[in-house]
């Protein structure tokens, strides 16, 4: 039976992150994950995790200058120093709260220079993460939501992982992003299984709760179970109202 992680970048956002962790526990999630927790002392997050017994699966590197349109830095030529500072910050924070993974955000870029920059920064990150027993994740984003994002397909992500050859670099396979632009979801999950470090989900195309839309999540969750996947699946969707009112799917799949 599938287990589930609450992505606190989207769920329980009406309260401080430590209280969101407690709310996820009360809702019977098996784990939590977040986006950018850096404004909150790591000691506060650790305390909430220890109180609830929930593992923190991962967090993201900073996006950069959000007002200027940054969506990460690690594939952006000329901003290597900023990218590596963001990677180090994320690894430090992850270690402080015993988070299992860091999602290295590529950013808006294209071309061979961006590819080379991303590989160089990922090589730096992989070595630093290995010393702390932390997994690195890279996530393809769909062209509708992130038209200028460097990493756009699961094939591109798999090729980068093969080229770098770092055993602690994996794909964050978001069923929502893959469903919006690639399709053939279950086949892709099977084919990429050795390279996947985390799986997330939301309805397609509105990124709502997984109880409607183009993807049949009961079938997808069953296929993931049959693959032998045992780690919690990340609920990264936007509730239409209060998070608690959107959790019928969770009660069904428990």
**What's the CA gap between 93 and 97, in Å, rounded?**
6
Annotation says 139 is catalytic: yes
Out of 51, 89, 139, 182, the active site residue is 139
Which token pair is 236?
């990264």
Give exposure, 37-75, as e/b (b: 16+ Cβ within 10 Å).
bbebebeebbebbeebebbbbbbbbbbbeeeeebbbbbb
Q: Write the DSSP symbol of residue 112.
A: H
Out of 89, 120, 236, 244, the active site residue is 236
Annotation says 50 is catalytic: no
Distance of CA 58 to the CA centre of its chain: 7
Per the CB < 8 A criterion, the answer to whether 64 and 116 are in contact is no
Among all residues, which ones are annotated catalytic?
Answer: 139, 236
């Amino acid at each position: 039976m599938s287990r589930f992680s609450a992505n606190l970048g989207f769920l329980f956002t009406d309260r401080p992150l430590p209280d969101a962790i407690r709310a996820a526990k009360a809702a019977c999630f098996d784990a939590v994950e977040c986006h950018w927790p850096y404004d909150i002392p790591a000691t506060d997050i650790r305390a909430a995790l220890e109180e609830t017994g929930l593992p923190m699966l991962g967090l993201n590197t900073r996006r950069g200058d959000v007002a200027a349109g940054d969506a990460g830095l690690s594939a952006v030529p000329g901003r290597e120093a900023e990218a590596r500072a963001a990677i180090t910050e994320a690894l430090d924070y992850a270690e402080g709260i015993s988070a299992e993974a860091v999602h290295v955000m590529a950013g808006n870029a294209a071309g061979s220079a961006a590819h080379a920059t991303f590989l160089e920064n990922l090589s730096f990150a992989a070595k630093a993460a290995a010393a702390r027993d932390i997994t690195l994740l890279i996530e393809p984003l769909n062209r509708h939501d992130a038209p200028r994002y460097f990493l756009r397909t699961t094939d591109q992500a798999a090729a980068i992982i093969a080229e770098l050859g770092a055993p602690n670099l994996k794909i964050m396979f978001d069923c929502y992003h893959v469903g919006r632009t690639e399709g053939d979801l279950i086949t892709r999950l099977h084919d990429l299984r050795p390279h996947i470090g985390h799986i997330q989900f939301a309805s397609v195309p509105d990124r709502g709760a997984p109880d409607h839309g183009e993807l049949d999540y009961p079938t997808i969750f069953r296929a993931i179970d049959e693959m032998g996947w045992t780690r919690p699946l990340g609920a990264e969707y936007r509730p239409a109202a209060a998070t608690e009112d959107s959790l019928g799917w969770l009660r069904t799949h428990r």
